Structure formats: structure tokens, C-alpha cells
Amino acid sequence: MKSPLETTNNKPKASLRSQVMRAVDSFAFPLRTSHYVELVNPLWSTHKMQARVVKVWDETRDARTITLRPGLNWRTHRAGQHVRVGVPVGGKHYTRTYTISSEPERDDETFTITVKAISDGKISPHIVRNIKVGDYLPIGLPQGDFFLPDAQPVLPLFITAGSGITPAISMIRSLIAKERLPNTVHIHYAPHELDVIFGKQLREMAATHERYQLHEVHTHSYGELKQTKGYFNDEQINALCPDWREREVYACGPPGLVAALEQHFEKAGRSRHLNIERFLADFAPVPDGAVGGLVKFARSEAEIEASHDMPLLRVAEEAGLNPPHGCRMGICHTCNTTLISGSVRDLRSGKLITGDGSTVQTCVCAAAGDCVLDQ
Amino acid sequence: MFTQSTGFPKHLSTEQIEEFGREVDAIRDEVFENLGDRDRAYILRLIRAERFMALGGRFIMLFSMWLLPVFGLPFGGWLPLSLGVGFGAVLLGLAKILENMEIGHNVMHAQWDWMKDPEIQSNTWEWDNVGPSDQWIHSHNVVHHTWTNVIGKDPDVGYGLLRVTPEQRWKPKYLLQPFTNAILALLFQWGVGLNDIIWADKTNAGPKKVLFKRFLRKAYRQLRKDYFSWPLFAGVLAGVTGWALGVEMLSTAFIAIGITLLGNLLANGMRNVWTNVIIFCGHFPDGVHHFRPEDIEGETRAHWYVRQLMGSCNIRGGKLFNIMSGHLSFQIEHHLFPDMPSNRYPEVSLRIQALTERYGLPYNTGSFFRQYGTTTLKIWRLAFPGGGQVATS
């Protein structure tokens, strides 16, 4: 039996499993069987992936590790990758991206994310304080290209700060679990000793594995709000890791650290050996004289005047639209849309995108003059 | 016989109507500002309950087949069988009512879009109804909610089938309308589904042929689920049971298929009649106002509010009645704020009533008996020519 509009036959033949699923889904139309399976166990649903919170654990005063048991269709991450997590706050659904802090070799079918509450943030304090064991959160699949290559580096150097520890600890734990830990140096910045996320585990690892050398740099004294001791600088790295010129560097931290590292390795002509994971998309300076324009969203028939520096995703949201989005920092491509006409600026590189029909990442592109988007 | 009036109230000046509009806007803004976790929990709980009921109803009907007397199993017999199937069908019918009224109708009004939940969005929601969601959104949200009670513009003034105000010119076909109305009630989802196609030329809905093709595609899948897949499932279950117990397989299977068909027909029929009754109480009871196209020329947002208020009627009822009617028992509030989450209508209703009293505007509410009673009387009376002097208030 075929429905009138289903008669195009040049599709590849569906697998037996998908044919069976289609037949079973016909019992649940207009929903899918998965919507009812979800009632029994949200982890079995296939129309969306969810994870159950099985444990919460405070790492520091403002950082918490959340252990999640993902549903069916989960695929194991590579150490260093991140995952999108949906969080309802005040009744509204938000999506944020967090690095997976556990190693893929973990065998209890769970993974962890470690979130630091940003004091004036909206979502992270909610995750750190309000998410309870037993909650279900929609999640995406692991993504991202910040992971150790299969031909693993002979001499890795990790430089991390604050919650930038998360991809590094996943990688180091993974190397240890595989019993393939090379000679590794790790420089980690944190306010003070008791404020180091995973501090105890890091020190234990350093004590048991002599090939893992940990250097903690504490930038604050207890009770102080302002930094008193040095951030990253040339003398520091020469003192802590004299052979840094021979090492492959994996760095993750706030924009200040990342900028200092980029400058340092550029000067030494070793930019190629610096691998960076950023907290936020790093925007290039917008050229003088840049102007915004009238943005038209063709499919939604909405139009709004936009400035030259506001990402188009936010422009669309200001216009009352609710376009799909994920990371909001240009990595997940959930917000991709097509440029019908006009031009936009990629805020990360400052480059103009003009070709009609080119793909635009709305979360990191802003209007450069009038433009029309297929959204 | 009936109080019929058209046009805007004459006792209010344009400035006063504008002030009324500002007060209504303020109420709206206040509610939208404090939407939150409580509202999200409400709709999620409701969707969950509805899915449990639908699934439960269908499986109760299915396993009731083991009560077929031919199997001679314990508790079997025609009476337990009909009780089991009847209970399952009513449960499914109630689920379909919830899905249609409080969930589907309101989600498609974009009442829950503010949550940005990718699962609960007006532009992706598909309801358990023969008409495709987007076509209904056009005929309902775009046409009916914009042109509410404007004669010749709002298809919902009698749906082109009934004469519900003396303002409509009498035609011989209306003589049959008490009968037409009963048929429409039984087949209401088909009427609603075809409404957009019938009026397509007038309302710019699109080419009729395309609309009809998409309608057929949706209707086919709906019919397949209720009148093919599930009955066949019951037939297979009964047949296999018959084979295991050594009774006549084929005839048993056919009886099971037939019974399940009837159960699903009952569930759909129940939903059709209920939605028809509730919706008819929204704009047809005695005292409702109609408008002529010339009345609404140059209409402002404030005038639109007044028209929505005067063109809609509420039904008094308890909490359960409100939920089962999709909060269309607050039709007035629904027409003033079509995209406000429906669980907020009761609290808003008190404020709107107080407002109408200050401005000397009507607020048409009454018991279910009064609202549906006057609607029925009107349909019978207006089958014949005349039916009341039209007062222009």
C-alpha cells in the first residue's frame, strides 16, 4: 500500500529494519512509535536522544560534574570532544555545548560533563545548582575536532586554565586507560589549590604515573578576588617545560590565555603545533565603516534592521523567530542557512560572504548591508 | 426572538475604545512576562497523560479480544467484552479530545512556541485529525481569528452550511439545517479538514488541487491507523489465540476486526461530537454579535479586541471541563489572546470581566445548557426565513 504522494521510486531500497519501523510507526501516526516508547523509558526513544542524570558531584565551589546515562543511538566520543545539552530554564529551552570530561574507555555506559557556573550567566548556574539526579536532558551526539589523532603525539603538552581542564582530563584519562601514556607535561592555571577542578585526581595521576608531569600555576591567594601571580608568559613556560619547542600543544582556556599562547607560538614559528579549543568564538575586529542592514528572513516573511556586529541568529530571535541552533559559537552547524542575496560577515574571520546560495552559520555571522536569508 | 446586533457599540468614543485596547494589551504583557516553569510543567504533563490514555485505550481494546466468548477463557463473555472494548474506546476518545482541543489546537496557535522546545512548536506539530495541521492553521488562525464574525469573511459563521444569524440571507438549503448540523457533528473532523479547501479561493489558501492531494494523504494515514492497522492487529491476536485454543480461526479474527473498528469509530465519533458542541458554543449562542465588512473598515487593534470580545461566548464550568474543552470555555479570552498559553485563561478571565463592566461592554457567558441550548434553538429557528430584527447597537 502506498500513499498517493509516496510513489517516487528512485529512492534506494530501504533496509528491512527501517521497513519494519515504518510499518510499526503507522500504528502511531501522526506521531512515531518512539513517542510512546518514551513513556516507558525516555532513554529508549529514537526521535530524540535524551540522557538521564545519574550523579552530580561538586568539583569546586562553582563547578559541578554531572554524570549522564545517554539513550539508545549514542555513539562513543573521542577524548576531547563536546556534546550539546538542552536545558529548560524558566520554562524555556536552551542549548549549550559542554566538553565531555570522562574518558571514552569508561565502561559503565555513562559520560560526564563538568560545568562551571559563570557568575552572571543564565544557563550554567542553573545546571550547576538545579539539575537533579533523575532529570532527563535532551542531548546531541559528540562533536568537535579537538581530539588526539590516532597517530598519537609522542610528546604532548597540555596547557589549560579553569574549566578548560575538561578536554585535557578526558584525553589524559583515555591515554592512561589505554596504557599508552607518553611523556606528558600539563600546565594548568587556577585561582588557587582548592579551586582546581579535578585537583585531587590530577595530583593522584601525577603521583602514580611518572610520565605525567603536572604543573599547577595558582594565580590568586586565598580570599583574594584579584589575580596576584603571573599568567602565562615566556619565562614561565621555559621554566616549567624547557622542551616546549619539541612538543605538540593542546590548549583550552579563556580568550586571554588563548591569545597569549597564539602570540607566543607564532613568534616561535610553531603555530602548526598549537591545537586550541575555545570557550567562545573569538571574533575578529570589525573593520571601520562596517554597516549593518535590513535582514529579511524569506521563509518566515520577517524583516528587521540589524547592526553590523549582532550575530544573525540573535537578530532572528529579536525578530521573534525561533530558528534551530546549537552551540552558538560556530562549531556545530545546527544554525546553518542559505544566503539568498546580499552579503554577511563572518565575525570570526571578518571575511565577507557574498555568493548567493552560500551557506551561512547564523550564530557567528552578522549583516554586512541588506541581506536575505532562507529561513 | 433572539438578541441580534451588529457593529461596534455606539456608547464608546474612539478614544475610549483605544484606552480599552491599551488595558487589554497591558493584561497580555503581564501574563507573557511571567510565563515559566509552571506553564511548561503543565503542558508536558498533559501531553504525557494524553499519550498514556491513548496507548492504554488501544491496548485495553486489543486485549479485550481475549474476552470473546468463543475462547471460553475465564471472565469471557459478551458483556465483559463490550465493557472492556467500551472502556478502551472511551479512554481513547478522551485522549483524542485532549489531543485535539487542549494540546493540538493550542500548540498550533503558537501558545507554547515561547518555550522554544523543538518538540512543541506550532510549525512542526501534526495532530491526530484528518486535516493536515498547516491547512487548519491557515483556515483557523489566519482566516477565522482575523475575521471573527465578519459576515462573508469568516468561514466559521455557519461554515457555508448553516445559517446562524439573521444577517445571513435565507436560502432553501437552510431548511435542512437541523439535520445538516447533526451530520456535521458526527463527521466534524472531516468538515474542519475540508473547510480550508472549500474556502481556498476566497482566502488565498493555495490551489485547491494541491490542498486536496495533501488532505487525502493525511486522511489516508489517519484512516489506515484507526480502521486498518489496529483492527488487523486485533484480528491477528484473536486468530492466533483461536489457533492455539483450537477454535475457528478466521471467523474469530473477523469478529475481532469488526469490534475494533467499531471501538475506534466510537472514539473518533465521541471526539467529533464533543469538539463540534464546544466550538458551536463559542460563536453561536444567543447574544453574540456579528459584524458587516463595512463595520470593520479602518479597524485598529483596539477595535479588533472589541470585536473578538463581542463575537465570542464563554461556558461556565469546572477545571476538568475547561481542560476537556481545550479552555475554549474561555472562548472570549482565547480570541483576545490566541497565542497565550491556555492554562492562563481562567486568571485572565476575571480581569477581562471586570474590564468589560467598567466599559459597559457585554461579556457573554452562561452554563453549558444555556449556551448550547440557545445555539440549537437558533439553528432550528433560522432554518426558516426571518428570525429576528437586527438591531444595530
So what's the ipTM on this one? 0.90
The residue written with cell numbers 558531584 in the block is: A57
In terms of CA atoms, which chain A residue is nearest residue B225? Answer: A27
Q: What is the predicted pLDDT for the residue at B393?
A: 43
Residue A88 with chain B: CB contacts under 8 Å: 37, 40, 115, 117
- CA atoms within 13 Å, Cβ hemisphere of A137: 29
Chain centre to alpha carbon of residue A206: 27
Instruction: Give the closest of A29, A31, A91 to B36, CB-based.
Output: A91
Q: Any CB–CB contact under 8 A between A39 and chain B?
A: yes
- B166 exposure class (CB count in 10 Å sphere: 0-12, 13-18, 19+): buried
Q: What is the predicted pLDDT for the residue at B1?
A: 54
Task: Give the best-scoring range by mean pLDDT among A143-152, A259-268, B258-267, B279-288.
Answer: B258-267
Q: Any CB–CB contact under 8 A between A324 and chain B?
A: yes
Q: Any CB–CB contact under 8 A between A350 and chain B?
A: no
Task: Give the best-scoring range by mean pLDDT among A23-27, A147-151, A322-326, B325-329.
Answer: B325-329
Whether A104 has a pLDDT exceeding 90, the answer reads yes
Q: What is the predicted pLDDT for the residue at A3?
A: 45
- B58 exposure class (CB count in 10 Å sphere: 0-12, 13-18, 19+): buried
Residue A82 and residue A109 in contact, taking contact as beta carbons nearer than 8 Å:
no
Please give the DSSP secondary-structure letter assigned to residue A152.
-
pLDDT band at A353 (very low <50, low <70, confident <90, very high): confident
Interface of B with A (CB under 8 A): 35-40, 48, 51-52, 55, 113-119, 121, 126-128, 213-214, 216-218, 220-222, 224-225, 229-230, 233
Residue B115 with chain A: CB contacts under 8 Å: 88, 91-93
Within 8 A by CB and 6+ apart from A253, the residues are: A159, A160, A161, A162, A164, A189, A279
- Assigned C-alpha cell, B198: 472549500
How many Cβ pairs within 8 Å bridge chains A and B?
70
Instruction: Give the closest of A29, A86, A90 to B221, CB-based.
Output: A29
Could B36 and A90 be called an inter-chain contact, meaning their C-beta atoms sit closer than 8 Å?
yes
Q: A4 vs chain B: nearest CA distance in angstroms?
A: 6
Nearest partner of B269 among B281, B261, B280, judged by Cα: B261
Over the stretch A48-92, which tens digit does the pLDDT of each residue have?
A: 999 999 999 999 999 999 999 999 889 999 999 999 999 999 898
Q: What is the predicted pLDDT for the residue at A60?
A: 93
Over the stretch B107-160, which tens digit does the pLDDT of each residue have?
A: 999 999 899 888 998 888 999 999 999 889 888 888 899 999 998 888 888 888
Please give the DSSP secondary-structure letter assigned to residue A117.
P
Could A4 and B113 be called an inter-chain contact, meaning their C-beta atoms sit closer than 8 Å?
no
Provide the terminal-to-terminal Cα distance of chain B, rounded to the nearest Å. 16
Q: Any CB–CB contact under 8 A between A93 and chain B?
A: yes
Between CA B272 and CA B193 the distance in angstroms is 12
Q: What is the predicted pLDDT for the residue at B96?
A: 97
% of chain A surpassing 90 pLDDT: 52
Whether B378 has a pLDDT exceeding 50, the answer reads yes
Query: Average pLDDT for residues B84-105, to the nearest whole number?
Result: 97
% of chain B surpassing 90 pLDDT: 76
Q: Any CB–CB contact under 8 A between A57 and chain B?
A: no
Residue A42 with chain B: CB contacts under 8 Å: none
Please give the DSSP secondary-structure letter assigned to residue B187.
T
Task: Give the best-scoring range by mean pLDDT among A137-146, A277-286, B2-11.
Answer: A137-146
Q: What is the predicted pLDDT for the residue at A284?
A: 65
Could A322 and B119 be called an inter-chain contact, meaning their C-beta atoms sit closer than 8 Å?
no
Instruction: Give the closest of A1, A26, A48 to B119, CB-based.
Output: A48
Residue A28 with chain B: CB contacts under 8 Å: 225
Query: Average pLDDT for residues A134-146, to the nearest whole number?
Result: 93
Ranges of each domain in chain B? 4-36+131-392
% of chain B surpassing 70 pLDDT: 97
**DSSP secondary structure string, B244-293?**
HHTS-HHHHHHHHHHHHHHHHHHHHHHHHHHHHHHHHHHH-STT-EEB-G
Please give the DSSP secondary-structure letter assigned to residue A207.
H
Nearest partner of A249 among A227, A276, A283, judged by Cα: A276
Query: Average pLDDT for residues A119-141, to the nearest whole number?
Result: 91
Whether A8 has a pLDDT exceeding 70, the answer reads no
Q: What is the predicted pLDDT for the residue at A2?
A: 42
Over the stretch B213-224, which tens digit does the pLDDT of each residue have?
A: 999 999 999 999
Could B222 and A29 be called an inter-chain contact, meaning their C-beta atoms sit closer than 8 Å?
yes
Between CA A112 and CA A372 the distance in angstroms is 41
In terms of CA atoms, which chain B residue is nearest residue A24? Answer: B229
Nearest partner of A282 among A368, A350, A356, A184, judged by Cα: A350
Between CA B95 and CA B127 the distance in angstroms is 12
Q: What is the predicted pLDDT for the residue at B196?
A: 84
**DSSP secondary structure string, A232-250?**
S-HHHHHHH-TTGGGSEEE
Q: B16 vs chain A: nearest CA distance in angstroms?
A: 30
Q: A88 vs chain B: nearest CA distance in angstroms?
A: 8
Over the stretch B156-187, which tens digit does the pLDDT of each residue have?
A: 888 888 999 888 889 999 999 999 999 999 99
Between CA A165 and CA A250 the distance in angstroms is 11
Helix-then-strand count for chain A, H and E: 8, 17
Q: What is the predicted pLDDT for the residue at A198?
A: 96
A115 to each of A254, B19, B249, how far by Cα in Å? 14, 49, 61
Higher pLDDT, B339 or A226: B339
Query: Average pLDDT for residues A179-195, to the nearest whole number?
Result: 93
Instruction: Give the closest of A28, A92, A138 to B115, CB-based.
Output: A92
Whether A308 has a pLDDT exceeding 80, the answer reads yes
Within 8 A by CB and 6+ apart from B13, the residues are: none
Q: Any CB–CB contact under 8 A between A35 and chain B?
A: yes
pLDDT band at A4 (very low <50, low <70, confident <90, very high): very low
Query: Average pLDDT for residues A191-197, to the nearest whole number?
Result: 91
Q: What is the predicted pLDDT for the residue at A282?
A: 58
CB burial readout B261-279, b (16+ within 10 A) else e: bbbbebbbbbbbbbbbbbb
Could B40 and A39 be called an inter-chain contact, meaning their C-beta atoms sit closer than 8 Å?
no
Query: Average pLDDT for residues B285-305, to the nearest whole number?
Result: 90
Could A92 and B114 be called an inter-chain contact, meaning their C-beta atoms sit closer than 8 Å?
yes
Q: What is the predicted pLDDT for the residue at B4?
A: 62
Residue A87 with chain B: CB contacts under 8 Å: none
Residue A36 with chain B: CB contacts under 8 Å: 51, 55
The whole-chain average pLDDT of chain B stands at 92
**What kind and span of H or E run contains A353?**
strand A352-353
Residue B36 with chain A: CB contacts under 8 Å: 90-91
Q: A150 vs chain B: nearest CA distance in angstroms?
A: 36
In terms of CA atoms, which chain B residue is nearest residue A49? Answer: B119
Residue B40 with chain A: CB contacts under 8 Å: 88, 91-92
- Indicate whether this model's pTM tops 0.90: no
- Assigned C-alpha cell, B68: 470473546
Could A91 and B114 be called an inter-chain contact, meaning their C-beta atoms sit closer than 8 Å?
yes
Phi, psi dihedrals of residue A81, rounded to the nearest 5°: -80, 165
For chain A, list the domains and their CATH numbers: 50-138 (2.40.30.10), 156-278 (3.40.50.80), 293-373 (3.10.20.30)
- A187 exposure class (CB count in 10 Å sphere: 0-12, 13-18, 19+): buried
Could B36 and A324 be called an inter-chain contact, meaning their C-beta atoms sit closer than 8 Å?
no
Residue A93 with chain B: CB contacts under 8 Å: 115-118
Over the stretch A155-180, which tens digit does the pLDDT of each residue have?
A: 999 999 999 999 999 999 999 999 99
Q: What is the predicted pLDDT for the residue at B2?
A: 60
